[in-house]
Structure 1
Amino acid sequence: MSAQEYNKLFDEVIAKYHIIDKVDQPFENPFNKDTFEHLLYRKNWIDTVQWHYEDIIRLPDIDPVEAIVLKRKIDASNQDRTDMVEFIDSYFLNKFKDVKVQEGAKINSETPAWAIDRLSILALKIYHMNEEATRESASEEHRVKCQKKLDILLEQRVDLSTAIDDLLADFASGKKYMKVYKQMKMYNDEDTNPMLYAKK
């Protein structure tokens, strides 16, 4: 798959979510669980739900108790997001495991999956900026301003997609090699968050 195909899949996920447009709607992945598409679909769905969690929690009149419950859901979603990134990187590690690394090959500043993570979020920005650029209830000034931002986001998607394809080509040819570090987030772990282990 090319990055352009990732974008197409992400756009389909986001459109699917907005048919019902509720954070608690049931999730169904149409792809076989052993496929790369399954990982991408799940990843973007997590990002899409979290995008809307973040919208809800910013409501100025949100009930404080509901806000705490929602914050817990956002924390869990962030962990799911990180886990999916690591699953995607595992896919690429396996894909390129037999590539002969060229002498002088270098690592990249980020892994393919974290670049794809940015591409997934970019798809959400594009969808929602397009909504604002075409919203009939908004002023003309607002729509023009949002259209200019949308144009930049679309250009950014082209550039990021090209960079991802180039990076994967470099891995496939051995010009670069993958090295992955686990995120090791501490605040969700009862053994590393002092606020949690102090309560034990």
Structure 2
Amino acid sequence: MSFSETAWKVFNQSIEQYHVNDDVDSLIENPFEDHSLEQILYAKNWIDSVQWHLEDIIREEEINPDEALKLKRRIDASNQQRTDLVEYIDAWFYKKYENISPKPDAKINTETIAWAVDRLSILALKVYHMRHEAERESASEDHRQKCQAKLNVLLEQHEDLSNAIDQLLIDIENGTVKMKMYKQMKMYNDESLNPILYQKTKK
């Protein structure tokens, strides 16, 4: 089984488990061995699954403004967790390939392995929810047909993205692509970098 197939399987296992309760406050029960790549992938998708539904909730037109602000703060924290895990996945691969010497003409990919995996995780959620809409009996036939057409595109995207991820891993292993890591350096959560926060502390 290729890496992308393993990741897709783990992501869908997480999504199915989340929807057992379909509750953003459900606690994760990660079934994989500690520190394994599968455990990390499962945790990554669980964060994505919870955030997917938080984004749905916050768009409720009648939502209480105070509740919306709490949700926004929660989504911000979730985004930080997501970024941290993406960087952790990159570090896992960086260590795996640390003894590979890139060729002199090795290229650098536009995104790291983990950020491509991040896209795959979100894509798994899109496929799950679009399939639900394409099969929802309470929806109109026109709605189901339109969602099926979108689902077909998402499934094609899944195939293309999976192939691209697996090819990137092959290229890194062969030394034709150089793996580099850049921290995201997000500024809005840092009191020393966000002017709204550091100006407040001076008052």
- Provide the residue aligned with 1:149 in structure 2: 150
TM-score in terms of structure 2 length: 0.97
The alignment status of 1:78 with 2:84, answered yes or no, reads: no
The alignment status of 1:101 with 2:106, answered yes or no, reads: no
Q: Distance in 1 between matches of 2:138 and 2:130?
A: 14
Q: For 1:94, what is the secondary structure of its paired residue?
A: helix
Q: Distance in 1 between matches of 2:130 and 2:84?
A: 28
- Provide the residue aligned with 1:64 in structure 2: 65
Name the amino acid aligned to 2:6. E
Q: Distance in 2 between matches of 1:158 and 1:167?
A: 14
- Provide the residue aligned with 1:6 in structure 2: 7
Name the amino acid aligned to 1:100. S
State which drifts further: 171-180 or 161-170.
171-180
Q: Distance in 1 between matches of 2:142 and 2:171?
A: 44
**Structure 1 spans left out of the alignment, 5+ residues:** none
Name the amino acid aligned to 1:11. N
Q: Following TM superposition, by how much is the alpha carbon of 1:177 offset from its aligned partner in structure 2, in angstroms?
A: 1.0
- Provide the residue aligned with 1:180 in structure 2: 181
| Superposition pairs of residues 24-173 of structure 1, within 5 angstroms | 24-173=25-174
- Quick one: percent identity of the two aligned structures? 59
Q: For 2:196, what is the secondary structure of its paired residue?
A: helix
Q: For 1:198, what is the secondary structure of its paired residue?
A: helix
Q: Distance in 1 between matches of 2:176 and 2:31?
A: 35
Q: For 2:178, what is the secondary structure of its paired residue?
A: coil
State which drifts further: 162-171 or 1-10.
1-10
Name the amino acid aligned to 1:175. T
Q: Following TM superposition, by how much is the alpha carbon of 1:34 offset from its aligned partner in structure 2, in angstroms?
A: 1.5
Q: For 2:83, what is the secondary structure of its paired residue?
A: helix
Name the amino acid aligned to 1:3. S
Q: Following TM superposition, by how much is the alpha carbon of 1:33 offset from its aligned partner in structure 2, in angstroms?
A: 2.3
Q: Distance in 1 between matches of 2:27 and 2:36?
A: 21
Q: How many residues are treated as equivalent by the alignment?
A: 200
Q: Which runs of 4+ in 1 moved over 3 A?
A: none
Offset from partner CA, 1:51-91 (integer Å, 9 cap, x none) = 00000000000000000000000000000000000000000
Offset from partner CA, 1:131-170 (integer Å, 9 cap, x none) = 1000111000000000000000000000000000000011
Q: Distance in 2 between matches of 1:184 and 1:103?
A: 29
**Structure 2 spans left out of the alignment, 5+ residues:** none
TM-score in terms of structure 1 length: 0.98
